[in-house]
Amino acid sequence: MKLLTHNLLSSKSLKGVKVGYPLRIVAKDVKISECEFNKEFVKKIIPKLDWKVFVNAAVEIGQTSDLSDELIEDYEDDDDYLKKVHHLLMEVEIINGELICPETDRVFPISAGIPNLLLNENEVS
Amino acid sequence: MKRFQYLLWFAHEHVSFRLHEIEAIASVLKIPIKWIEPPSDKPWYLVELPSEEAVQKLSARSVTMRRAIHLWADEPTVPRLHASLKEKCLNGLLEPYKLKSFKVDVDLFCNSQTQEEKLERIESFSYMPFQGHVDLKNPDVTFQYIEYYGLDPKIVPANPTRTFFGRVVSESGRPLIHELSLKKRTFIGNTSMDPQLSLLMANLGKVSNGDLVLDPFVGSGSLLVAAAKFGGHVIGTDIDFLMLHGRTRPTRKQTRHIARKDESIEANMVQYSCVDKYIDVIVADSALPFWRSDVEFDCILADPPYGIREPTERIGSKESLPIIKKEGSPVHFPSKIEYGLNEIIKDLMWFSSKHLKLHGRLLFWVPVFRQDYNDAQMARHSCFKLIGNCEQVLTTFTARRLLVYEKIKMPQDTDECSSAIPAASTFREKYFTHGDENRLTRKQKKAEAAKNKEIWFAKLNNVNVK
């Protein structure tokens, strides 16, 4: 699971959960794999991100970067900046680990890079 | 501005998808098309386009087109075509290509030719002042000659009703169909979508570079492969844990006894060198909201389960207070309940009304019983406009339709959604009973025919004896 996916997921389908965002991450195996930089994509995806959640998630799984809590204004022309974002979004992958609901502590396992958000029949609201 | 006339020459399949595809690609690439002839079911479009580069870009993405041709002559009969070409050659039409290596391709639509006849046809152009040599494998320039004999294979006229000649400007994206062939794909499932239709969906969905594309019923990821090939960055979700982990029963008959190994959607992306466009797949129930509430996708593609080869299910229990038993396996497989096709579709439309960008496209397939089909039954939602509704015939009785919607407004509390596909609840039932009936009548017919044959032979013998 990539950090981009983490940024988009919530646990709000759980019974009684209001926001369910952001999910906490426990990363057991992290893989870094190179992937071609697509400037167009990164430029288009940044406005779709919850930026603070993204930066915090990177720290949470031990990826150091000098990205600050605030998104810089003129990122569209800053190739170095976009490349850093690209690296954290697309090249860092959690192979095994857990996503944890911030309200109920329900654990969603990540195995073979695939998060499992299936609920049990008694958890569906 | 100088514009040129082009003939877009099509493969004669998926005819109802053709116009939608060309319009969608032209819109993505911002290419203005001027129709010289109103688009019809005939296997060509006659258009004016701004430049040769525009034609190349347009055809490179199309999977319904064969090739794009710069039109040199367009006449109702063969002699007139030759007369027209002769005159144009005298005026120097061929000058820029005179010394180049070349070949001439001949297509007969709704008729056939032997190799000799084909050579004869090619020879009939020998008045053209070519000086370059013929090169069949790698020519500098290719010419296309087309004879059109109408659309009805039962009534083929003696002479073509229309003839074209021109220079091939570019080939289409059809080689991608073979590149993505399911036969050689690492990971396939029982209901993997055929590559041509997947590519068509990506085109009709206007997928373009840097888009975020979602398939909420991803299965083995056929739609993701196609979307990624056209520049989309793809995410898929599916309720089937074993499918996404490549651990379902093998699909290929020859290797059915060997368990799947290293098969996954990601492996397919690697195989087709578009893993850079692969984001993730997630095991989740699309009937439940699990996306951050303000996520927006650029395009949503889906082939929902019909309940024939894949079950229509969501998580739930028939009990009012379900109890989870402790199981040996570390993964709990929740119990599932029936999830009707109309419900699936309505949920998909509600979901898309919130999570698709404005003017983004939503595409999905629905199964229909052909004799019951009625346009009015197809799904509607006040946020969406139905752009296309294309039929792919499956059997005499059944077909599936690709519905293409565009989001025309942001969601409001007063939005309405309906889907009343009549066959949906009973499609499975009808699908099988019709099949049975069919098989039964076929059996009876066969028996009757055999009996008749016997009687006939008996009579014949009688006559012979007398």
CA dist B242 and B187 (Å) reads 13
**Would you call B282 and A38 a contact, using CB atoms and an 8 Å cutoff?**
no
Span B321-365, pLDDT tens digits: 666 655 555 666 777 777 788 888 999 999 999 999 999 999 999
Rounded to the nearest integer, the mean pLDDT of chain B is 88
Amino acid identity at B448? E
**Would you call B281 and A114 a contact, using CB atoms and an 8 Å cutoff?**
yes
For residue B334, which residues of chain A lie inside 8 Å, CB to CB?
118-121
CA dist B94 and A69 (Å) reads 64
Quote the percentage of chain A above a pLDDT of 90.
78
Q: Which residue of B has its CA nearest to A43?
A: B210
Span B275-316, pLDDT tens digits: 999 999 999 998 888 999 999 999 999 999 876 666 677 777
For residue A96, which residues of chain B lie inside 8 Å, CB to CB?
none
The most confident of A53-67, B147-161, B319-333, by mean pLDDT: B147-161
Question: Is the CB of residue B166 less than 8 Å from the CB of residue B75?
Answer: no
Question: Which of A13, A43, A121 lies nearest to residue B334, judging by beta carbons?
Answer: A121
For residue B282, which residues of chain A lie inside 8 Å, CB to CB?
1, 5, 9, 114-117
Q: Domain A3-105 falls in which CATH fold?
A: N-terminal domain of TfIIb (2.20.25)
pLDDT at B426: 64
For residue B280, which residues of chain A lie inside 8 Å, CB to CB?
1-2, 4-5, 113-115
The residue-averaged pLDDT of A11-29 equals 92
**Would you call A9 and B292 a contact, using CB atoms and an 8 Å cutoff?**
yes
Taking the model in full, what pTM does it have? 0.87
Q: What backbone phi and psi angles, to 5 degrees, belong to B222?
A: -60, -40
Q: In this complex, how many residue pairs, one in chain A and one in chain B, have their CB atoms less than 8 Å apart?
A: 116
The residue-averaged pLDDT of B401-409 equals 95
Span B163-200, pLDDT tens digits: 999 999 999 999 999 999 998 998 988 888 999 999 99
For residue B275, which residues of chain A lie inside 8 Å, CB to CB?
35
Question: Which of B245, B275, B296 lies nearest to residue A112, judging by beta carbons?
Answer: B245
Show contacts of A60-67: CB within 8 Å, 24+ apart: A60/A24, A60/A25, A60/A27, A61/A3, A61/A25, A61/A27, A61/A30, A61/A92, A61/A94, A61/A97, A62/A27, A62/A30, A63/A30, A63/A88, A63/A92
Q: What is the DSSP string of B196-263?
A: HHHHHHHHHTT--TT-EEEETT-TT-HHHHHHHHTT-EEEEEES-HHHHTT-SPP--STTTTSPP-S-
Q: Provide the 3-class DSSP secondary structure of residue B119.
A: helix
For chain B, list residues whose CB is within 8 angstroms of any CB belonging to chain A: 209-212, 233, 235, 239, 241, 244-245, 264, 266, 275-277, 279-285, 288-293, 295-296, 298, 315-317, 321-324, 331-332, 334-335
For residue B239, which residues of chain A lie inside 8 Å, CB to CB?
118
For residue A40, the tally of other CB atoms under 10 A from its CB is 13
pLDDT at B115: 94
Span B251-274, pLDDT tens digits: 887 777 888 888 899 999 999 999
- Cis amide leading into A22 (omega within 30): yes
Give the dihedral of Cα atoms B70, B71, B72, B74; nearest 10 deg.
170
Query: Does residue B81 have a pLDDT over 80?
Result: yes
Which residue shows structure tokens 């319009």? B23
Name the band, by pLDDT with cuts 50, 70 and 90, for residue B466: low
| CA proximity to B242, closest of B270, B271, B219 | B219
Query: Does residue B403 have a pLDDT over 90?
Result: yes
| CA proximity to B275, closest of B213, B214, B228, B207 | B228
The residue-averaged pLDDT of A5-20 equals 93
**Would you call B210 and A12 a contact, using CB atoms and an 8 Å cutoff?**
no
The residue-averaged pLDDT of A2-29 equals 93
CA dist B243 and B249 (Å) reads 9
Q: Which of A52, A118, A120 to probe by mutation at the B interface, max B CB count within 10 Å?
A: A118
For residue B296, which residues of chain A lie inside 8 Å, CB to CB?
48
Which residue shows structure tokens 């090739």? B67
ipTM reported for the complex, 2 dp: 0.95
Question: Is the CB of residue A112 less than 8 Å from the CB of residue A22?
Answer: no
pLDDT at A96: 96
Phi-psi region of B219 (alpha: psi -120 to 50; beta: other; left: phi over 0): left
Span B103-123, pLDDT tens digits: 999 999 999 999 999 999 999
For residue A122, which residues of chain B lie inside 8 Å, CB to CB?
317, 321-324
Q: Which of B237, B292, B355 to probe by mutation at the A interface, max A CB count within 10 Å?
A: B292
CA dist A74 and B366 (Å) reads 45
For chain A, list residues whose CB is within 8 angstroms of any CB belonging to chain B: 1-2, 4-5, 7-13, 21, 35-36, 38, 40-41, 43-45, 48, 50, 90, 109, 111-122, 124
pLDDT at B325: 58
Query: Does residue B21 have a pLDDT over 80?
Result: yes
**Smallest Cα distance from B184 to chain A, Å:** 24
Question: Which of A7, A36, A118 lies nearest to residue B285, judging by beta carbons?
Answer: A118
